[in-house]
Amino acid sequence: RGWAATPEGRGLLPQLLQFVTGSARVPVGGFAELVGFNGAKHPFTLSKGTHLTPESLPMAHACICTLDMPPYGDFEVCQAKLTQMLAMGRSHFDEAAGRTGDGA
């Protein structure tokens, strides 16, 4: 289910890893050897983004290899927001970028 089920989706996995960790490759020793920007080991972590809204995009903290996930209502919305986040790449850092509506 999800990205790993299709060849196109598997191409997104290195992008997700880079977004969360700063590197598109898993270290030689595996995920247990992930190192943050401060040089310390940090496990790949999905965190409940209680500070985010269901309209927000996921927020990464590459220094500690953590991805804050907003409280999405279902798998399809989650997958769409993750895909949107990766499509935007490094060119956008606007927290409001994933929101719908006029924002007024």
Looking at the annotation, which residues are catalytic? 63
At residue 19's C-alpha, the angle toward residues 63 and 81, to 5°, is 125
CA dist., res. 95 & res. 53, Å (int): 10
Calculated CA dihedral for residues 25, 7, 69, 47, nearest 10 degrees: -40
Hey, what are 95's tokens? Answer: 């927290």
Tell me whether strands 45-48 and 66-69 are parallel, antiparallel or unpaired.
Answer: parallel
